[in-house]
Structure 1
Amino acid sequence: MRITHRLIGAGTIISAGVLAAAISTAAPATSAQSWAPADSAAIHPGTMMYTEGAQCTANFVFTDGSGATYVGYAAHCAGTGSSTDTDGCSTQSLPLGTKVTFNEGGSLIDEGTQVGSGTLAYSSWNTMHSIGETDANTCAYNDLALVKVDAADVSKVNPSIPFWGGPTGIDTDGTAAGDRVWTYGNSSLRAGISVLSPHTGISLGDQAADGGWSHPLYTVSPGIPGDSGSAFVSADGKAIGVLSTLGLAPLPASNNIGDLGKELAYAQAHSGISGLQLVNGTEPFDPVL
C-alpha cells in the first residue's frame, strides 16, 4: 500500500504564470439531489480513497449537467512517478477509467473496509500532459482529479465536510497571512485515531510569483502523507483549495494547497464534463474550534 503526498524541497523552482481560463462564477449546486444523511453517509469529503494501493483523502463533491456525481482528490494520487515529482505536465499518470475505491478504517496494515467505488473521470495531470500545457505555475500546482461515483453507490454520498460542515461556495479572494483555514484529513498513518482528522491552520499568505495557484499554510496537526487531496475551507466555509504538497524548505512541515477556483475552472474548460460544478454541503459550516 502506498500513501501519497508530494514533497517540495529547496531545489524546486517555480516560474510566474497565469491561468488562461477564467474562474467560473456559476453558483455551486444545491441539494436538488437526494443525498445520504450527513451523519451516516459512507462517502463524503474526508473519505479514504485508494487507487492501485495508493491512499489519499476525498475533498469535495461535484455534479455535472447529467446529474452524475463525482468526488475530488489530488491528481497526483493517480500519478505513477515518485513522491518528489511535482510537475503534473511531465509526470505520467494512470489512465482515465482506472478503478478507485472509497474505504473506511484503512491503516498501514490493510485498506480497511470498502464502502463504494468509482472510476477516474478527470485528472489535471493527464489533461495537462495530453494538451501540452506549458505554463509553469499551472503545471506545478494544478492538482485535481475527479472520480465518478458508481451509480450503485451514489445514494451513499453526502457533500458535507465531517465535523465542520460546508462547503458554502468557492473562495475567490485568496488568503492573507494569518487567515485561518479548516480541513479534514484522513491519512491511514493516523491508525484510525479519528480525533486527529479535523484540524485548523493559518495561511502564510499568497505568493504573487505563482499567480494565485498555491496557498502555503501551517496546520495543527500538520497534513501528512495520505491526507493528500483534503478539502480546505475559509472562515465563512468557502472552498479554498485541495491539499497538494508537503514543503520541506524554506518552510519545513508547511503544506501547500492548490486553488480550487483555478483548478475547477481548468477542469470545466478541458475535462469534457458538461455542467461540472461544486456541490455545497447540506450541513451549515460551524468553525467550533
Structure 2
Amino acid sequence: MNLYLFSRQFIKHSFFILLSFSVLHPDVVFANIAWNDTAYYFNERGQLLWCDVHAAQPNSYVIKTKKTNNEIFQDIPLNDASVQLSADYDTALVSNISRSTARRVAWLIRHGKINDPLVLENIVPILDKRIMRRMYDNIISRCTSGNAHQEHGGVVYPDGRVTCITGELSDAEEMEGASLYLKQKALVYYHSHPDACIEQRTADRGDAHNPNRVQFSQTSEVKTISYVQGPSRQDQESVGEGTGYVFGIKTSGGLIYIYDKDGIKATLPVAFVKRSYKPSGKQIKKKRIDTYVAGL
C-alpha cells in the first residue's frame, strides 16, 4: 500500500496522496512474430522524428526520458514536513539522460543517423502504437463503467493479444492503495494509476465567554486523497525481466511511463495513442503502422 499525507494550517489543510502498485510475474519470451520492415523513431513528446522503411526488423523507439525524479513525481511535494508516505511505499527509480543528450539524439535521428552509437545508447524500444491504443482503450472502457478507485491492466502476448482485468477496489479513506495482481506470464505488462480524488472535511468548534457575549471560533481541516501517477518501486521490482507500462489517467496531461527492473526509462503523453502519425519533412517515408503485433 502506498500513500503519503501532507497538512497545512489555514484554517488547516491536510492532503493525502495515495499511490498505487501492481504485482507482476513475467516469464515468456516473444517469438515467431510476423513483422513488416519499418521502424519508427519518436521523441518524448510523441513526435515522429524518422521512419526507416529499410529496417532490419520493424519496431518503434522513443528517446530516453530527460525528466528528473522531481518532474516524474511532481504530484509528490518535496521538503514538506506534512507529507507522509503510506506503508512500504517508494517511488520507482528514474533512469534519465541529460537534456543536452536528448537534444543531440533527436538531431541525429532527424538527420537519419539512427545507427550512431549515441542514438543506439539512448533510445528505448516501445510497443506498436496500435497495441498501446488497445491497452488504453481497455483501461478507459473499464474506468467509465467501473469505480474510479481501481487499477485496470493486463498483459500483451507474443501474438499481439491484449488481455484486460480489473484490480481490487481500494479504500482511499482508509489509506489503502489500489492494486492489481497479474497472474499471466508475458514480457509486457500494463496497468493504470487512477486519477480519483476524495476530500474529507472536519471541523472543531470552541467557545470563549465574556460578560457581554459568547464568541465561537472554528477551525476546519481538509484532507485530499488522490493517486500518484508514476510507477512505484513495487511496480519496478515486480516486472522482472519484462517491460511495464503505467498509464497515468489524469484528466489532462496524462503520461505513459515505460519502465523495467532498473527503473523508468521513457515517457510518452497519453495523447500519443490518440493521434495518427503526421509526417513532418521529407525524411518521413510512411504514415501508418500496418500491424497490431507488439514488439520489444
TM-score, normalised to structure 1, is 0.29
Report which of the two structures shows the higher radius of gyration computed on alpha carbons: 2
TM-score, normalised to structure 2, is 0.28
More strand by share: 2
